[in-house]
Amino acid sequence: MTHYIDIKMVPPVEVNVPVVLNKVFSRFHKTLIQEECPELAISFPAEKKQKGSPLGDILRIHGNEKELKFFMKTNWLGGMKDYVKFGMVKSVPSNAEHVVVRRVQVKSSAERIRRRQIKRHGLTEEEAREKIPDSLEKRIKEPYIDVKSGSTGNSFRLFIRQEKVSEPRLGGFNKYGLSKGGTVPFF
């Protein structure tokens, strides 16, 4: 990933940063699916630096120069252009560190376990709720984006973790711009 562009959220007073970030991110994801865009990745350089917005107010998009310029010409922001600022595609600084930006999923949703118990063991909903209380559910403390899946249309919370690593790694990125093993520059 040799280049990047920063998309800074600048919401009006009555709207908070996470609301704008959710919408911008959903548009990013949808465009990656619709446009058959090449591999692009994301990071959040202002994570935990802005009060009230755990992921911060900047969505950084990584890729090579040609891919990023093509992506920005797709008008992917649409009506969200009034709520963001962005400049030109820039080269990554040579002193950049590296991070893996990945999705974090909880495998123990109490509701999911209850549905499985009902299906496999013939329990009633009440029996399953008694056997598997909500208190058994693991909670994730990672920051998240509320996103609507471009493929299924379902809304869900996409929990994200950025982990610094000592060396860059090759690896793919999914249609959310999240790592399947690869790193992105972080500065």
pLDDT exceeds cutoff 70 at 50: no
User: Is 159 inside any structural domain?
Assistant: yes
State the catalytic residue, choosing from 3, 29, 62, 98: 29
In a domain, 163, yes or no: yes
- Decide if 132 is inside a domain: no
Q: Decide if 90 is inside a domain.
A: yes
Distance (Å, whole) CA 40 – CA 4: 10
Is residue 29 flagged as an active site residue? Answer: yes
Assigned domain for 120 exists: no
Q: Is residue 110 part of a domain?
A: no
Task: Count structural domains, the chain.
Answer: 1
Residue 35 has pLDDT above 90, yes or no: no
Question: Considering only CA atoms, which of 92, 99, 69, 84 is closest in space to residue 166?
Answer: 99
Do the domain assignments include residue 134?
no
Position 162: which residue type?
Q
Bigger pLDDT: 183 vs 131:
183
State the CATH number of the domain containing residue 178: 3.30.70.2540
Q: In whole angstroms, what is the distance from residue 160 CA to residue 175 CA?
A: 14
Residue 128 forms part of a structural domain: no
> In terms of pTM, does the model score above 0.85?
no
Q: Which domain holds residue 29?
A: 3-104+143-186
pLDDT tens per residue, range 133-168: 877 766 678 899 998 877 777 888 899 999 999 999
Give the closest residue to 7 by CA, choosing from 72, 61, 75. Answer: 61
